[in-house]
Structure 1
Amino acid sequence: MWLLDQWAERHILDAQRQGEFDDLPGSGQPLKLDDDSHVPPELRAAYRILKNAGCLPPELEQRKEVIELSQLLTTVKEGTAAHADYTRRLALLELKLRQAGASTEFLRGDYAERLMQKMKEE
């Protein structure tokens, strides 16, 4: 592997000397790195791996599920077993989000009023 690394490094240096990297988009501008300053240093590598794999933190996963359940409730007739099950699941997820310190305001306000109105229409 060492020989391959040396070969790649030589080709990169040759390309730099020939100016092949000079006119790349964003050249001379600061890199836009993810701000992970709020993540403890010993967890940053693990968080980056999870992020690159498409995994969401539990709170964001729950928030996504809450939104999906809210939309699903608009399609289910009120009074049915499915409606009751979705409503219980939605209440449980909302409680979990609050316990985790996440805001549930996206379920209230204008969005919630429109959602409730749509549910009443059906």
Structure 2
Amino acid sequence: MSNISTVFEQLAEQRIREAMERGEFDNLPGRGKPLKLEDDRHIPEDLRLAYKILKNADCLPPELQLRKEIHTTKELLSGIRDTEEKYAQIKKLNYLIMKLNTMRRVSPLLEEGQYYYDKVVDRMGSSRERK
């Protein structure tokens, strides 16, 4: 059996080389760009098809949508200077993190950490003192 597969591999390689020499691969979409290979190892096998359908429909699963919102809120926090506005965003961030943690049903040791207002105020106060 391995003899037959070797013959097929050699035949396939030969045809690929001939097609390359004729330039049949020169104008393919995405030429010269890295392949976009999807890594779905972390998704349970029974959910992979559903996730792929959601992705193709440009929809995110709820957990990923929450993670995206948490990431956006964290980025927004870094640019806020007003203490009250920062506090409001931290409350929102903590709510989103709590929602994500309850959704995931994992050990509390693996939960996403929340942000605390006192730490922010202390840090902001110490940074103002340095100026």
TM-score, structure 2 length as denominator?
0.47
Q: Greater RCO between the two (CA within 8 Å, min separation 6)?
A: 1
- Compare CA radii of gyration and give the structure with the larger one: 2
TM-score, structure 1 length as denominator?
0.49
